[in-house]
A and B are shown apart, each in its own frame.
Chain A
């Protein structure tokens, strides 16, 4: 049979097989497995069928725990069921995994293995998640490449049915899951050949059914549990043979033979590495390379890790082996070794004992760790390990790939060691996030892989910012299959492209270039001028390496052809033209074919503009004659200001320019604790335009600063005398604040931190009466303003902050005099969430503890290298932590409990030490009203006085009190997260925390989808909106979290939308914090995942409120005590139809465009939802309440 060669990533390859072999698929998003679920959902939505001709049922659950539970139920009832997950998600599945395995029920969990969060979260790959499941009883089957992942997916489904054991099939997150590679696709016939219908029928027949009733899940007593647990042993013993037999059958069908343990290298190897996952492929290629050169080395790839077959491992190892290194991509602190090491030591020991090994003598066995959190694992590292095995006493418990200067565990290696095939073309592309570079490169790889005889590989790296990010694409292609799951190394790239000129100013990207290679630059400068605009280092590299240098002004071509900022097809055309991988005309034809395929369904206009861009490219592509000498006066910009603190310069700085790999272990905090306030040092300069303030028009309302997502537009009032030292261009006007007359007022922009989103301009209500298009804030080009405004910004920062006791923060304008302690995050430009967090930081930043659920807010809030939560001049600021996705409410409650307990203890001690502290101080400490800033500031003074006294006291209780004295100052606990957390995975905990009655404030940044993982539906997703996992438009209405919380009667609840009513938002924040009990604020957060012009985000918030989709309200239980209805609706009856709001957003509109009939039906229901909700709330708000007094009177 001829099979199709396709170029796809492992997630898609695996999902295809799993979809074909399943009836019920339970999914939940988690990086990097999400796309497997997305594929399954999308295929189901278009009625793709499984192997038996029916469309699998795909259901999104509230968590991975839920998904595992649903799978457990499905398989118990006799369905063929699967799920996809990784990392924490897999951990949440563990309880069910024990059950599923204990009940001998076949299923396959496909896992793109990812790091489990410890001192920090990492979305990247290692085996710590899979290793945590070793004791569940699941069979663990490892793949190491895209081809293998597809193949093992089939083998695992087939063997699971045969053996009755559940399988966990895993492959490396990102490195394999997201690597695009050319593979031979399995056809339905292949699947049929492997899957036994008889076994399928047997599985169904075992399903729980009242037609043949049985009972599972008994509770057993000490008398029988143990014996029962041992009954399954024969199945595990049989499984080993079944998996190998399935692999053999697979080989007969496809020609690809796998073994439980695959050996490669010298037949007489003396030094062997044993490992699994993608690293094994690198190790194998390196071993072959070294063996060809005469080195006696080899590699054993572990496929079947559980059940572990000692016999098969012994058979795989050559008898000549003298030294073995096991490599684990996980860390088990405190163990005698990592899991694979332990297994191999034990296996060899057993083998020697039972004589099943052919070893002449017992080999030395050492273990090491590599590749945690997707740390690179290269041929150089493999060689480093082999070299160490030459020693009489090789290092044990070593690390490879890092410099461990703390425990000295790391082995040395040569980073320059390369085994790249000279026939393989290697290309590195630097792109600006969302400029289309990655997409175009994926297309290029597909074209090369599928339209030429070449093999091809693509891997893509992204930095951690959601705006202005840098992407790096690594492409390889050539006549030989590419088994190189590692990045292209320095000096190895035959083609380097820079798609954004400004990157050259700060990144040494030509370090990747191989001598005689090509450098392609998207240049805003003309070919004859560009040389002088290159940094000296780049010029020197071009000369020294003899690079051919090409330029194109892709932005100009894009602009002229209607492509906007998307330079993708233009740069792609240049790549094909220069690389010559295809004849020019063929290449252009293929690019166009790919454009048609990618964009065709989006309409002819899009296809045509891409065609036009391709056609205009070559005439604008120029080769630059390279001068003999470097002449530039420009140097690479240092990543951070030399004035930055040491830690920022020495540790965070290298991370900013992709040189974090070079940092040694000693550079890092031991417990994951980092300083706050570091984004201020990362001047990203990503805005093309920034706002400019017009003092003559400004009405000083504060709205611009209020809505700014990045705290880059701020206002201050100050003594006019301070202006004497102001830069010449610094703007000021008379302040219009009644509280303190005679002050000056300035609105200042942080030019290098602003992302240019324009929300401030949209929010500005002041228009020039002679020219209404001019507002008090207008956008202007950043580069000409940069230097001037940088000086202004520095001067502005030095101006004193407003006296918090003089300006009550109860108005929007006053609130914006408070210093933001959340600034310059890497959130999307125009983010709808961050203005709320910034406001929180202004109001309570100096006394706030934040528990932050995993999600967008934990990424822009806590992803290295720099973080946005910062401190004020007194060094006070928000203290922030992220635990998990699912536990955030509980995490925050724990913080509250600590503060409450310690405060209680402190108060007890203050009272107990009263005589020594003095009556006045004791009275002040215990009775100061801290409901406002003045009270809090006063309490801080009293606590300072207390500490002073305590320091001089010898009473042992004084030391106790000193350690908890700070808790006497009121602390505000904020529990922050998105709707995925609050409505779904964390809902149970959130509900319990609300019920606890404790004084915590919960802020739900409701984007109505899982934004951070790419827009999957949550229970907050409204009806009629399209989202991933709701590709046909969500058919049911949004969960009313506010209503549920109100049902307690003692929870403060508010629903806000700052774009609709900023004063209302402010009021709700103030009331929530003031309320002595649990508070819940649900904040409409417009989002890039809505498919909107982010600049119009505030307007959309207004439309949402006006259409009745998002009612504003506050529910304050204190009002009930006063005999008032606690519910106050703060928005008017809907004035615009829902569709007038909804169809401004792609998430709704795309359904209208793809399935008009369904869109109309759902929109009709959405209108009805809004109407009913309005009516219900109105009626609730109209209920007459009686005061406690009235109630008491009645009782008597």
Chain B
């Protein structure tokens, strides 16, 4: 029987299927079910620093609204004993998850300020997280900000957090960087043990009937796999960090491709949300079957086997792939 185990961020995992940050990890019960179905590690849902700040300010704002203004209604709400605003409930969930499951729990932090991040990261480590995934969410709209300044702010954040925690650290990136390999290596130098490729940004949509900008977050499909697949393949062997492929993993084949491109793990959410946790069992079985049929002994054997450095023509990941795609498109047009 082929060996599905892998190693990611120094953690020994029984297989390469990892649950990426999603609502699935919001409840202890579903965390337990993920483990039962065979997932090898869980990246917790993201703790959004921005959201915490917003919640805190919003609560304060609305509890104050209209108060001490009119003699009969000095306040409008009872003063409740506590509010779970801030990271406490998240940290508590990490602690509880560590008690009820054996697989690694990777905390996920989505933030934007140096101060807040660092503190939250430290507290997550103290709560028992096996590793930390930083989900750096930033879109610069300032004309004055250069790409170097922007990328450097990422590096500085990683560096600051590295100094605070001893647990492994992964950085989840967006694909929208001009010189990704350079950034990737700078992040690794700053202390990242792993890179997660890629983040799926919230992308607003336009409602043309109401003439409004509306939030929209669609689940991925297998076609979304190709972007991270390419970059994992390119970065494999170039940076000293484990890579996790995230976005577009829906089938056992997607997961195998991720491995061959050079990922240590394949992270998934959309497929599980769409078709249920049973897909974990099914995909693991299919992977095993495929490996048996193709006489692979282990996942490790295939990891990076189709990376840019490993293929016969490395250029195909750069220019040739583009040419090939165009050619086939021309062919279809005929």
Task: List residues of chain A with CB under 8 Å of any chain B CB.
Answer: 31-32, 34-35, 38, 41-42, 45-46, 123, 174, 433-434, 436-439, 460, 462, 464-467, 469, 471, 562, 564, 566, 599, 601-606, 609, 767, 772, 828, 859, 1011-1015, 1026-1029, 1031, 1088-1089, 1091-1092, 1146-1147, 1149-1150, 1153-1154, 1156
With A606-B56, A1088-B65 known as contacts, the answer to whether A1012 contacts B80 (CB < 8 A) is no
Across the interface, do A604 and B78 meet the contact criterion of CB distance under 8 Å? no
With A605-B53, A1150-B59 as contacts: A42 and B78 at CB distance below 8 Å: yes
User: Which residue on B lies nearest to A1017, using beta carbons?
Assistant: B78
Least CB distance, A603 to chain B, in whole angstroms? 3
Contact yes or no, B86 A603, CB < 8 A: yes
A47 — nearest CB in chain B belongs to which residue?
B81
Chain A positions within 8 Å of B75 at CB level: 1014-1015
Whether B76 lies near A1091 (C-beta < 8 A) is yes
Residues on the B chain within 8 Å of A436, using CB? 64, 68
Q: Assess the A1153–B73 pair: CB atoms within 8 A.
A: no
| Cβ-defined contact, B57 with A606, below 8 A | yes
Q: Give Cα A226 to B89, complex, Å.
A: 67
Residues of chain A lying within 8 A (CB to CB) of residue B58: 1146
Inter-chain contacts of A1026 with B (CB < 8 A): 77-78, 80
> What 16 additional pairs, Cβ within 8 angstroms, besides A1027-B77, A1088-B76?
A174-B71, A433-B66, A433-B68, A438-B74, A460-B68, A602-B83, A603-B57, A772-B211, A1012-B72, A1014-B72, A1014-B73, A1015-B77, A1031-B80, A1088-B66, A1153-B83, A1156-B84
Q: Would A609 and B78 be within 8 Å (CB), given that A1012-B73, A1150-B83 are in contact?
A: no
Judge whether B211 and A434 touch: CB under 8 Å.
Answer: no
Assess whether B70 is in contact with A1154, with CB atoms less than 8 Å apart.
Answer: no
Supply 17 A–B pairs (Cβ within 8 Å), ascending by A: A31-B72, A35-B74, A41-B78, A434-B65, A434-B67, A564-B61, A602-B60, A603-B55, A1011-B73, A1012-B73, A1013-B73, A1014-B72, A1015-B76, A1015-B77, A1089-B73, A1146-B58, A1153-B85
- For residue B63, CB closer than 8 A to chain A, the reply is yes
Q: Are A1154 and B64 in contact (CB under 8 A)?
A: no
Name the residue of chain A whose CB is nearest to the CB of B81. A46
Shortest A638–chain B CB gap in Å is 25
Q: How far is the CA of A1029 from the CA of B76 in the complex (A)?
A: 11
Chain B residues positioned under 8 Å from A464 (CB to CB): 70-71
Shortest B291–chain A CB gap in Å is: 42
Knowing A1092-B62, A1146-B77, the reply to whether A562 touches B57 (Cβ < 8 A) is yes
Give B56's nearest chain A residue, CB to CB.
A603
Q: Point out the residues of chain B lying under 8 angstroms from A123, CB to CB.
A: 71-72
Inter-chain CA distance A36–B79, complex, in Å, is 14
Question: A38–B72 Cα gap in the complex (Å)?
Answer: 13
Contact: A434 with B71, CB < 8 Å?
A: no
B60 lies within 8 A of A434 (CB): no
* B82 part of interface (Cβ distance < 8 Å): yes
Q: Give the Cβ gap from B326 to chain A, nearest Cβ, in Å.
A: 37
- Cα distance, A164 to B271, chains bound together (Å): 72
B77 engages A1091 (CB within 8 Å)? yes
Q: Which residue of B lies closest to A437 (CB)?
A: B68
The residues of A that contact B69 with a CB separation of less than 8 Å are 433-434, 462, 466-467, 469, 471
Chain B nearest CB, measured from A1154 CB (Å): 4
Cβ-closest chain B residue relative to A45: B78
Taking A46-B81, A438-B68, A1091-B65 as contacts, is the C-beta distance between A606 and B73 under 8 angstroms? no
Knowing A1091-B63, A1091-B76 touch, does A605 contact B57 (C-beta < 8 A)?
A: yes
Determine which of B62, B72, B89, B212 lies in contact with A1156 in the assembled complex, contact meaning CB atoms within 8 Å. Answer: B89
* B-chain residues with CB within 8 Å of residue A41 when the two chains form the complex: 78
Residue from A123, A437, A1091 whose CB has the most chain B CB atoms within 10 Å: A1091
Residues of B within 8 A of A1146 (CB): 58-59, 62-63, 77
By beta carbon, the residue of chain A nearest B67 is A434
What is the bound-complex CA distance between A362 and B67, given in angstroms? 54
Bound-state CA distance A1029–B77 (Å) is 10
Contact A605 B56 (CB under 8 A): yes
Q: A603-B52, A603-B59, A606-B60 are in contact. Are A31 and B81 (CB under 8 A)?
A: no
Q: Which residues of B contact A601 (CB under 8 A)?
A: 80-83, 85
Q: Which 7 A-B pairs have the closest CB atoms?
A: A603-B56, A433-B69, A1014-B73, A438-B68, A603-B85, A1091-B62, A605-B56
Cβ contact within 8 Å between B83 and A859: no
Are B68's CB and A471's CB within 8 A? yes
What's the least CB distance linking B89 to chain A, in Å?
Answer: 7
Q: How far is the CB of B84 from chain A (nearest CB, A)?
A: 5
CB atoms of B56 and A602 under 8 A apart: yes
Interface residues on B, range: 35 or more
| Contacts A1028-B77, A1031-B78, A1092-B62 given; does A1154 touch B67 at CB 8 Å | no
A436-B69 Cα distance, complex, nearest whole Å:
9
Closest to A465 in B: B70
What residues on A are CB-neighbors of B68 within 8 Å?
Answer: 433-434, 436-439, 460, 462, 471
Please give me the residue from chain B that is nearest to A1014 by CB atom: B73
A residues in contact with B84, CB < 8 Å: 1153-1154, 1156
What chain B residues lie within 8 Å of A859 (beta carbons)?
72
Closest residue of chain A to B66, judged by CB?
A1088
Bound complex: CA of A35 vs CA of B74, how far in Å? Answer: 9
> Max chain B CB contacts within 10 Å: which of A436, A469, A602, A828?
A602
**Complex Cα distance A524/B80, Å?**
36
- B211 contact set on A, CB distance < 8 A: 767, 772
Q: How far is the CB of B27 from chain A (nearest CB, A)?
A: 10
Q: A467 to B211, alpha carbons, bound, how many Å?
A: 32
The residue among A465, A609, A772, A1014 with the most chain B CB atoms within 10 A of its own CB is: A1014
Measured between beta carbons, the chain A residues less than 8 angstroms from B77 are: 1015, 1026-1028, 1089, 1091, 1146-1147, 1150
* Nearest residue, chain B, Cβ from A562: B57
Q: Shortest distance in angstroms between B187's beta carbon and chain A's nearest beta carbon? A: 28
Which A residues are in CB contact (< 8 Å) with B78?
38, 41-42, 45, 1026-1029, 1031
> A521–B186 Cα gap in the complex (Å)?
53
Contact between chains at A1014 and B80 (CB < 8 Å): no
Please state if B64 and A434 are interface contacts (CB–CB under 8 Å).
yes
Residues of A within 8 A of B62 (CB): 1091-1092, 1146
Most buried by B among A34, A42, A464, A606: A606
Q: Which of B7-62 contact A (CB under 8 A)?
A: 52-53, 55-62
Q: Tell me, rounded to whole Å, the shortest Cβ–Cβ distance linking B146 to chain A.
A: 27
Decide: B60 and A42 in contact? CB cutoff 8 A: no
Q: Which residue of B lies closest to A468 (CB)?
A: B69
Roughly how many angstroms separate A464 CA and B60 CA in the complex, as a whole number?
25
B56–A604 touching, CB < 8 Å = yes
Nearest A-chain residue to B119, judged by Cβ: A604
A439 to B65, CA, bound (A): 12
Interface residues of B in 209-233 (CB under 8 A from A): 211-212
B207 to chain A, nearest CB (A): 10
Decide: B56 and A439 in contact? CB cutoff 8 A.
no
Nearest chain A CB to B300's CB is how many angstroms away?
Answer: 42
The reply to whether A603 and B83 contact each other, CB–CB distance below 8 Å, is yes
Query: Which residues in A have their C-beta under 8 angstroms from that of B59?
Result: 602-603, 606, 1146, 1149-1150, 1153
Q: How close is A555's CB to chain B, nearest CB, in angstroms?
A: 16
Q: Who on chain A is nearest to B74 by CB?
A: A1014
CB of A867 to closest CB in B, whole Å: 16
Please name the residue on chain A nearest to B80 by beta carbon: A1154
User: How far, in angstroms, from A41 to B85 measured CA to CA in the complex?
Assistant: 23
- B81-110 Cβ-contact flags toward A at 8 Å (1 or 0): 111111001000000000000000000000
Least CB separation from A1030: chain B residue: B78
Residues on the A chain within 8 Å of B52, using CB = 603, 605
- Alpha-carbon gap, A196 to B93, bound state (A): 48
From A436, A471, A1146, name the one whose CB has the most chain B CB atoms within 10 angstroms. Answer: A1146
Q: In the assembled complex, which residues on chain A have CB atoms less than 8 Å from the CB atom of B83? A: 601-603, 1150, 1153-1154
In the complex, which residue of chain A has the Cβ closest to the Cβ of B83?
A: A1153
Max chain A Cβ within 10 angstroms of own Cβ: one of B75, B79, B81? B81
Q: Cα distance A1146–B53 when bound, in Å? A: 16
A466 to B67, CA, bound (A): 10
